[in-house]
């Protein structure tokens, strides 16, 4: 299974914060395809400017293989302070 976390405006758009995908998609792009198939607006937002992806708490770019039991987080533009 793959655990997916959403933050910020992505969470509001999806109306969920955390979701488990089982069976797990093999790649990040496959996961994004599954998400977009369920919610086209969310799929488009994941492709939006400034959205970063963390795989097991490390930032990744492009398509990557998803190991079993991994955690994927989609991170919209950040602002603290």
> Which of 36/54 has CB closer to another protein?
54
Q: Which residues bind another protein (CB under 8 A)?
A: 5, 7-9, 12, 50, 54, 57, 73, 75-81
Kindly tell me which of 26 and 52 has the beta carbon lying closer to another protein: 52
Contact 76, 12 (CB under 8 A): no
CA distance 78 to 51: 9
Minimum distance of another protein from residue 7's CB (angstroms): 5
Question: What are 41's two structure tokens?
Answer: 């607006």
**What CA–CA distance (Å, rounded) separates 69 from 81?**
33
Q: Which is nearer to another protein, 7 or 21 (CB)?
A: 7
């Amino acid at each position: 299974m793959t655990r997916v976390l959403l933050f910020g405006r992505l969470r509001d758009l999806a109306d969920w914060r955390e979701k488990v995908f089982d069976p797990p998609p093999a790649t990040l792009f496959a996961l994004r395809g599954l998400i977009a198939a369920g919610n086209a607006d969310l799929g488009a937002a994941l492709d939006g400017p400034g959205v970063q992806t963390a795989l097991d708490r490390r930032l990744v770019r492009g398509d990557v293989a998803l190991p079993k039991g991994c955690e994927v987080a989609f991170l919209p533009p950040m602002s603290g302070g």
